Amino acid sequence: MAKQKFPKSARHVATRLVFSPEDWFPSFPDGMVSGSVIRMHQSGPRCLRICFWGDDDFGMELNLDVPADTDLQLEVQRWTEWLERLKQITQADLKKLGFIRA
């Protein structure tokens, strides 16, 4: 698996491989893509990035600014648990959730 590079001001929270029936130009072996939850400190103290990448330079990302009245740790935990529960993901699934190509 190619090592993902995160900005120095980011704190990696969770990463796992998730099956995708699509080609992610290319995918990892066995049709897998890498999904991550990241705290993006340079974008603000309450910014999260949820992203999925193939084994090269094709990916989809969702950047979230967590409102001040929302518990940041609970939001991180919610997205981490969502990632852990995923059995498979498609680009259409991600688009419906607001992800964009990165």
Across all residues in the chain, what is the average pLDDT? 89
pTM: 0.86
Q: Is residue 70 part of a domain?
A: yes
Arithmetic mean of pLDDT, 13-40 = 95
Name the domain count of the chain.
Answer: 1
Collect all residues with Cβ–Cβ distance below 8 Å to 7 and sequence separation of at least 6. Answer: 40, 42
Residue 70 has pLDDT above 60, yes or no: yes
- What are the DSSP E strand ranges found in 1-83? 10-19, 32-40, 47-53, 59-65
Task: List Cα–Cα distances, 84 to 11, 15, 25, in angstroms.
Answer: 18, 9, 23
Q: Is residue 82 part of a domain?
A: yes
Arithmetic mean of pLDDT, 73-100 = 96
CA distance linking residue 91 with residue 46, whole number of Å: 26
Q: Which domain, by its residues, includes 84?
A: 10-101
Q: Is residue 93 part of a domain?
A: yes
Q: Is residue 39 part of a domain?
A: yes
